[in-house]
Amino acid sequence: MATFAVATTLSTSSIAPLNARRGFGFGFGFGSFLSPTTKPKRPSITTTLAVATDSSVCFNPNPNPNPNPNPNQLVLPSNESSEMLLRIRHTSAHVMAMAVQKLYPDAKVTIGPWIENGFYYDFDMEPLTDKDLKRIKKEMDRIIGKNLPLVREEVSRGEAHRRISALNEPYKLEILESIKDDPITIYHIGDEWWDLCAGPHVDSTGHINKKAVELESIAGAYWRGDERKPMLQRIYGTAWENEEQLKAYLHFKEEAKRRDHRRLGQDLDLFSIQDDAGGGLVFWHPKGAMVRHIIEDFWKKIHMKRGYDLLYTPHVAKADLWKISGHLDFYKENMYDQMSVEDELYQLRPMNCPYHILVYKSKLHSYRDFPIRVAELGTVYRYELSGSLHGLFRVRGFTQDDAHIFCLDDQIKDEIRGVLDLTEEILLQFGFEKYEVNLSTRPEKAVGDDDIWEKATSALEDALDDKGWTYQIDDGGGAFYGPKVDIKIEDALGRKWQCSTIQVDFNLPQRFDITYVDSNTEKRRPIMIHRAVLGSLERFFGILIEHYAGDFPLWLSPIQARVLPVTDAQLEYCNVVTNKLKMYGIRAEVCHGERLPKLIRNAEKQKIPLMVVVGSKEVETETVTVRSRFGGELGTMPVDDFIDRIKLGTENPISL
């Protein structure tokens, strides 16, 4: 079977690497543990056009963690790279809506846009099933086969209102009211169906390859995203230029399903979300908690090494604090209701920033104190609609790897460069070496004068140039309070994940009136830089699970070695070996009570990197026989040698 690769955009689906078997320590083969001189290689920096989530990525159905270009590579187009594909998807949405209304005359249409990998359309109608999708697809094929023309018509607002009213389409009337420009455009499919639409479309339905279209799923969606409005039936579909592209996409999608962190989290007993506690609230099970502990421990050590002071701050604060910060004015819909405590209103925190500012304000500062760097793994709470919750990727309570830098104007560049270096070091440690970098500049509405915006933006540009990273400029895409750099990591399947961000803030220092005393004993306002590397621990853990498909590298694996007796007669020696491994900081456990082949299969299913087999010979010679999940049988050796080789591998974790 020929090997082929797919370049596409699946930025938010639950996909993970096809093969993350490099860098498992023992996954290299026992003799190829990393030497102390091995260094991580520098990352590969990639850029995309304005819409970062629509970048191209590579996927190889034959597992290869570092796929190289090959003659059989198939590159899937995106909506940005192929206008024909965009037109096909948009027209497919209209054809689907037409098919639905032919089969279900009482269905009311709403909106049906093209999206990243296809299209969807929302209907106010009776609940649908997967069986209904087959009927709808069959009707779509009939419409496509008739090769009906797509005809654009311009009408007056009054005429559009008359026609929509005649069809009794209330949602279309609401859409018409929201359209500000005249004339109103309508697209007809033959003389059988029409819709309010600005286009573009293919010339006729025959330009759609019916074998390159598939209806994928049904979901509920509130009209206008408002939970107070009707729940609609949303049908998702995918459409491509030809059948070969569809097959490649479906293969990619199937791999995504197999790597879904929600399934792996349950299978490997890493985490859960308990209905009895509420949606979007993560329970870290012992194995998942161990991985989190390793991540947090590494994060804290590297930050202290880089000159950050660690903070721990409360999860709640007086509501007045959030008035000062502006969150109650601009972010209230994402905050939980306030609670009354002794006649004062308190608020669960949605952000950590105001807390770090209060720590800064707790004492006077001189210009000699700068830069001041503080960091916290701070848990925050944000209200999300239940329908938007998604495993670890969209939750209601999560822990940010938050840090803030207070510095002088002329220190911005060096501090940004320091954050870039730190970001690179951390991401390489977890196996991410390809990034997309975007610099967002001043929007139309912004706080702060022109000089400081220009200085801060130049500092960001200079730091990126000094780092040697290629980046795209998103002109006007910055926050109202300052310019920012966003870094998206590319996982082993080539998907882009927004994790790291660096933001200069002119707003909060002013709102909280933070100052320092300069060399002339005058009060000045410092520059504040927000930054996160991992984003949130929950989301990053989900990305890691999918990146490695649950096969964590040896240094991250919650259980590094499982000791397996051939019979229970060796159990006592197994406990001795396990205790010795634990004494040297190796995460090990004994498993017994089944025949050895089943013990090995269970360890494989649980993705344990190393299996230590103990029989009577090993007991007699005080050795162990080691089996690697990926290296197979690695031989018999003294326990001390086994420990040394594990420590050598785990002390030198590098990108995979």
Q: Which residues carry out catalysis?
A: 353, 382, 400, 402, 404, 484, 530
**Whole-angstrom distance, CA of residue 548 vs CA of residue 20:** 5
Can you say whether the dihedral through the CA atoms of 352, 354, 359, 364 is positive or negative?
A: positive
Cβ contact 443:476 at 8 Å: yes
Owner of token pair 């880089």: 306
Owner of token pair 């006077």: 364
Cβ contact 6:252 at 8 Å: yes
Burial class (CB in 10 A: 0-12, 13-18, 19+), 200: middle
Cβ contact 6:74 at 8 Å: yes
Q: At what angle do helices 286-305 and 537-548 cross, to 10 degrees?
A: 110
**Whole-angstrom distance, CA of residue 396 vs CA of residue 281:** 6
Pairing of strands 231-239, 271-273: unpaired
Query: Which residues pair with residue 271 across a beta bridge?
Result: 284
**Whole-angstrom distance, CA of residue 447 vs CA of residue 445:** 7
What are the DSSP calls for 416-472, one per residue? HHHHHHHHHHHHHHTT--EEEEEEE---SS--S-HHHHHHHHHHHHHHHHHHT---E
SS3 654: coil
What are the DSSP calls for 107-141, one per residue? PEE----EETTEEEEEEESSPP-HHHHHHHHHHHH
**Whole-angstrom distance, CA of residue 497 vs CA of residue 535:** 10
**Whole-angstrom distance, CA of residue 572 vs CA of residue 595:** 17
